[in-house]
Each structure stands twice: as structure tokens, then as C-alpha cells.
Amino acid sequence: MQSKIPPLHPKLANIEPALIIFDKDGTLIDFKTMWGNWMIGLAQRLEEAAGLSIAPQLFEAMDYDAESGHIAPEGNLAVTPMAGLRNLTYQVLQETSLSETMISEIMAKVWHTPNPLTDSRPLADLSFLFGVLRTHGLKIAIATSDDHAPTEALVIEWGLSPLVDVMVGADDGIPIKPAPDMVLYICDTLKIPPDKTVMVGDNVADLQMGRAAGVGLTVGVLSGVSTTMELTGEADIVLSAIGELIKT
């Protein structure tokens, strides 16, 4: 007997969507596991290379609390693209006694981006979830403040390429969140109007992007850096995690 297809969340079903756009970090993958570990590792490497105490200044610049692991929802670590995080790190080093030559050498030696293939953890069975969404006729896209290449590498590694129609990263030359441009680009590429589109994210900037683009539904998830109170003003609905987009 053929198994029954799980239905969409009623709020999604009500607008009869044709496209769902996901943020990546904090929405599809565990933000704190990947970015918190990267932040601590980067600070350790910088201190070893410089022979100075740098971690406190770096964490403050990135809006990261190493003791609690808290990442400020609107802080730099949560919303700034990689190029901006690199510049912030450079600026922290410039505030020390190190020469420009030494700073450049340290950055060349130490700077690295998170490895999504080893450091990320999915927040749902993405193959199952995306498969159900596709069965309901939805196109699927990802709009992230991370760069395009690591996002694509993760999608390929997890076998999601056949299920993801468009990916947009912060280095693709499109104005970043909360500007509406990423959503509008995806909608234009797939020839789907924004009012038939759902935007899902863990950050206020994700939802503001969706609203500015005129999407039919904004969905906040609590699996990332934001609280219910922080998301409620911009979200039409708030879910614990993306698994609740369908009823199993």
C-alpha cells in the first residue's frame, strides 16, 4: 500500500505556495555548533600566532559570548557575510601592538572559514522534508548570508542537489538581507510570484527580507539565534524547527 504523503502545515497550505525559501544557518543547520566552534578555534589560532590575548576583543567584535555560547541575533556573527567577518578580525588585530606586516602574515596563516562538511549538523531529515515539499509541488531555494561555494558543497554532500532549485549566497553580488533582492532574484529566476512564496528563517533579517519582497508567508523558527519575542513582529507563524512545516 502506498504511504500517505504528510500534509503541509495549515498556514502554508492556505496560501497554496509554489516556492519555499530557506535561510541556511540556524534554519537548515545548527548555527551554534558550526559557528560557535569556528569562533573559538579562530581565537585560539590568532592568540597562538600573535602571542597576545585577542579572544575577548574578537568575541566582542563578533557579538559572541564564549562563556554561554550565546550569539546575538542581530550581531555580526549572525548576520555579517564572511568577507565582513574577515575585515572585523583584521580590525581587532589592528587595535593591538602588532605591525601591519605582522597582522597580514598572521591573517594569511590563520584565517579560515568554517568547513560545512565536517562542522555542520542538519536540524531535520532534510532529504525527507524537501522530498515531501517537492511532492506538494513546491520549488525549494536557499538564501544565505554565508558564501555560495560552501553552501553548494553542503547541498551536494547531503545529496540535496536534485531537490534544491536555486541557491543564493552573500558573495553572489546581490544585496544581502534584510534587503528583498535575494528573494526577488529567486522568484524571478523560477518565474514564481512573491505572494506564492514562503520565507523561512531563524533571524529577523530573514523575515524582513521576505516581507520587503512581498512573500505570501513568513515563518520564523526557534532553532537558531532568535527567541519567539524577537521573531513575532516579523513572522506570520513561529515554529520550533523546520520539521513542523509538515504534519507527520
How confident is the model over 28-44, as pLDDT tens digits? 999 888 899 999 999 99
Number of domains forming the structure of the chain: 2
> Whole-angstrom Cα distance, residue 193 to residue 195?
5
Residue 40 corresponds to which cell in the numbers above? 573559538
> Whole-angstrom Cα distance, residue 78 to residue 66?
14
- pLDDT band (50, 70, 90) for residue 1: very low
> Whole-angstrom Cα distance, residue 65 to residue 56?
9
**Statement to judge: residues 128 and 241 lie in one domain:** yes
**Statement to judge: residues 64 and 185 lie in one domain:** no
- In-domain check, residue 2: no
Among candidate residues 68, 94, 117, the one where a domain is terminated: 117
Among candidate residues 71, 88, 117, the one where a domain is terminated: 117
Percent of the chain past pLDDT 90, that is, above it, reads 87
**Statement to judge: residues 101 and 140 lie in one domain:** no
**Statement to judge: residues 54 and 151 lie in one domain:** no
**Statement to judge: residues 138 and 216 lie in one domain:** yes
**Statement to judge: residues 174 and 96 lie in one domain:** no
- The pLDDT of 14-25, averaged and rounded, is 97
Is 12 buried (19+), middle (13-18) or exposed (0-12) by CB count in 10 A?
Answer: buried
How confident is the model over 191-220, as pLDDT tens digits? 999 999 999 999 999 999 999 999 999 999
Structural domain containing residue 185: 10-30+120-245
Quick one: pLDDT at residue 81? 92
- Give bridge partners of residue 105 from the DSSP assignment: none
> Whole-angstrom Cα distance, residue 110 to residue 44?
10
Closest by CA position to 168, among listed 186, 189, 191: 186
Among candidate residues 62, 84, 117, the one where a domain is terminated: 117
> Whole-angstrom Cα distance, residue 241 to residue 248?
14
- In-domain check, residue 1: no
Residue 50's contacts (CB-CB under 8 Å, 6 or more residues apart) are 93, 96, 98, 102, 106
> Whole-angstrom Cα distance, residue 208 to residue 235?
9
How confident is the model over 42-83, as pLDDT tens digits? 999 999 999 999 999 999 999 999 998 888 888 999 989 999
Entry pTM: 0.89
Rounded to the nearest 10°, the torsion over CA 14, 19, 25, 29 is 80
**Statement to judge: residues 84 and 149 lie in one domain:** no
- Give bridge partners of residue 139 from the DSSP assignment: 19
Report DSSP state, residue 34.
Answer: I
**Statement to judge: residues 131 and 221 lie in one domain:** yes
- In-domain check, residue 3: no
Q: What average pLDDT does the structure give for the chain?
A: 94
**Statement to judge: residues 133 and 60 lie in one domain:** no
Do 165 and 210 meet the contact criterion of CB atoms below 8 Å apart?
no
**Statement to judge: residues 147 and 232 lie in one domain:** yes
> Whole-angstrom Cα distance, residue 61 to residue 69?
15
Q: What angle do CA 137, 142, 148 make, to 5 degrees?
A: 145
CB atoms within 10 A of CB 5: 11
Is 147 buried (19+), middle (13-18) or exposed (0-12) by CB count in 10 A?
Answer: middle
**Statement to judge: residues 232 and 137 lie in one domain:** yes
- In-domain check, residue 4: no
> Whole-angstrom Cα distance, residue 182 to residue 145?
10
Closest by CA position to 22, among listed 210, 238, 158: 210
